[in-house]
Amino acid sequence: MRLRPGLALLVLVALVSGSIVLVPAVEGVTVGPGVVFRPSLSWADLSFGSTRTFTSIQVDATGVTFDGARLGIVKQPESEPRAVLVISEWTPYQTTENATVVRFSGDATSGSSLSFSLGGVVPVREYVLQVDGVEVSRPLSDSTGFVSFSWASFSVHDFRVTLGWRTGTPPPPPLLTADFAFGPATPSEGDPVSFSAAAAGGVPPYGYVWRFGDGATGAGPTAEHAFASAGDYVVNLTVTDARAVSAWAEKSVPVQAAPQPPTLSSNFTFTPASPEVDEAVAFSAAASGGAPPYEYAWDFGDGATAAGLSAAHAYAGAGPYNVTLTVTDSSPVTVVVVHAVTVRPRTAPPPAANITAAFDFTIDGTTVRFVDRSTTDGDSPIANWSWFFGDGTKSSESSPTHTYAVSGLTASYNVILVVCDAEGACGSTARVVTFSNVLLIASMVVAVVVVALALLALVLRRRARKRVERES
């Protein structure tokens, strides 16, 4: 079977797909320089520099067998681009001393390493590896005609294997061993765990298969896996060398339950601590943990309710009141906090001061400057200011400046001011501060006007065209 130019890609795809044997034909299998063999786990592209004819070709995971003689190849690391190997000479059954058995040029990224082997060649015979014309090693093939070579710091080189003069029985390869490390040592469920294999002995190259103990598997010298649930998982690594000898290692990986988010908690404060009847009481909440954002609901114990991070309330009668704050997060999880507020009967006011709480404010972007305008008709001046800005923050300055975190078109905040004089007389007031994103609103208005003008222009043009048509 001769590979015509139009069939070269078709045959290449068939060879890449797995272990495919081309059935012999009258003219055999003719392979031209345009045909590239890509064993799935070799990370190398293999081709011939000139046209060759074979009776059969077989592609496996790490090599190609041509008429019974196999060239095995593994390039590491697999994360780098595939190596490109071009065979210029191929006489695997060579029996003449110093004659070439195989010669190929290799091109890979600097720092790559190459392991390759010959199978089905002359048994118990010396083979000499030369790299760029310099002798590197003289291994003996085993009793089956298998011999392997390796080369580190692979970039661009000329590899040539010739038949040596020695014969004899080579020593058996060292025992194949396998081990691996993983990290972190105690992962949590859902966290990625990195595995790194270590193989020694046997006959490289090695194949690696991972079994993670939860039904999942992996391949290669390194792997990463996340365990979906907590427990102890026995991870198995099986290493297989070029002679199909296997070794394995097992280790237990303790997987912990994922850490839970902090528990939702809440509390609130109020002032004054011992209010009188009809005296305004300012309440301020705080929450943490759980899953923000939070919702706040107030029950003042006398039938009145409110919502929000802060609130103000005045009691009409004396007595103890249980104030209940209910905080709900987005889970939703709810916590309830109860504090008692004892309201004193109103004392007869001395020729006492009447304090009128009032304030003005100016807005510059998202920054607000508050100016206290509170007044008193008593002799004791106003000495204490309690500002609650409606976003969970507060101030004791007389005329503070506050910057809000505002997003969207508009936002409103209920600002509460409680003022007291040195004698304990107090007054309170509240105003709503509203922000409008003027630039965004203006740009939307402009866009609407532009569209409207465009539609109007279209209507006028149509009317003008109809008028011209009627007049003509």
Domain segments of the chain as ranges: 5-167, 177-255, 265-343, 355-436
pLDDT at 19: 33
The string of pLDDT tens digits covering residues 361-413 is 999 888 999 999 999 988 889 999 999 999 999 999 999 999 998 877 788 89
> Residue 215: which residues within 8 A CB-CB, separation 6 or more?
none
Percent of the chain topping pLDDT 70: 90
Class of the CATH-defined domain 177-255: mainly beta
> Left if phi > 0, otherwise alpha if psi is -120 to 50, otherwise beta: which for 446?
alpha
> What integer pLDDT is reported at residue 437 of this predicted model?
67
**CB count in 10 Å sphere of residue 372:** 18
CA distances from 194 to 183, 217, 221, 253, 361 (A): 6, 13, 11, 11, 59
Q: pLDDT for 189-222, tens place per residue? A: 999 999 999 999 988 889 999 999 999 999 999 9
Residue with tokens 């695997």: 92
How many Å apart are CA 154 and CA 134, to the nearest integer?
15
Q: How confident is the model at residue 117 (pLDDT cuts 50, 70, 90)?
A: very high
* Look-up of token digits 């007054």: 427
Does the pLDDT value for residue 113 go beyond 70?
yes
Q: What is the pTM of this model?
A: 0.39
**Residue 9 in 3-state DSSP?**
helix
pLDDT in tens, 132-167: 999 989 999 888 889 999 888 778 889 999 998 877
**pLDDT classification of 20: cutoffs 50, 70, 90:** very low
Of all residues in the chain, the percent with pLDDT exceeding 90 is: 60
pLDDT at 7 over 70: no
**Which residue's entry shows tokens 């490109």?**
84
pLDDT of 13 higher than 70:
no
Nearest alpha carbon to residue 189 among 231, 236, 235: 231
Query: Dihedral angle at the C-alpha atoms of 214, 219, 223, 227, nearest 10 degrees?
Result: -10
pLDDT at 169: 63
Residue 5 has pLDDT above 80, yes or no: no
Average pLDDT score over residue span 276-285: 96
Q: Which CATH architecture has domain 355-436?
A: Sandwich (2.60)
Asked if the model's pLDDT at residue 280 lies above 90, the reply is: yes
What are residue 140's DSSP bridge partners?
Answer: 126
Query: 432 is written with which tokens?
Result: 């709503």
pLDDT given for residue 458 in this prediction: 82
More confident residue, 437 or 471: 471
DSSP reduced 3-state for 421:
strand
Q: What is the pLDDT, as a whole number, of residue 170?
A: 61
Q: Are 110 and 157 in contact (CB under 8 A)?
A: no
Question: Can you read off the two tokens belonging to residue 187?
Answer: 């992962």
5-167 with 265-343: one CATH topology?
no
β-strand partners of 370: 361
Cβ-count burial 69-86 (b if 16+ within 10 Å, e if not) = bbbbbbbbeeeeebbbbb
Query: What are the strands, taking DSSP E only, across 168-264?
Result: 177-183, 192-200, 207-211, 217-219, 222-226, 231-240, 246-255
Token pair, residue 404, equals: 């809000």
Closest-CA residue to 248 (of 208, 213, 218): 208
Q: What is the pLDDT of residue 160?
A: 94
Could you count the other beta carbons within 10 Å of the beta carbon of residue 40? 13
Residue 258 has pLDDT above 70, yes or no: yes
- Number of Cβ atoms within 10 Å of the Cβ of 100: 16
Say what the alpha-carbon torsion angle 461, 462, 467, 472 is, to the nearest 10 degrees. 100
Q: Domain 5-167 belongs to what topology?
A: Chondroitinase Ac; Chain A, domain 3 (2.60.220)
C-alpha to C-alpha distance for 301 and 283, rounded to whole angstroms: 13
- DSSP assignment letter at 175: P
- Taking alpha carbons only, the member of 412, 390, 410 closest to residue 402 is 390
- Identity at 56, one-letter amino acid code: S
Mean residue pLDDT across the chain:
87
Residue scoring higher pLDDT (350 or 13)? 350
Residue 235 pLDDT class (50, 70, 90 cuts) = very high
| Position 455 confidence tier, pLDDT thresholds 50, 70, 90 | confident
pLDDT at 168 over 60: yes
* Among 251, 79, 256, 257, residue whose Cα is nearest residue 182: 251
More confident residue, 244 or 325: 325
Question: What is the architecture, at CATH level 2, of domain 265-343?
Answer: Sandwich (2.60)
Q: Is the pLDDT of residue 3 over 70?
A: no
366 touches 404 (CB < 8 A): yes
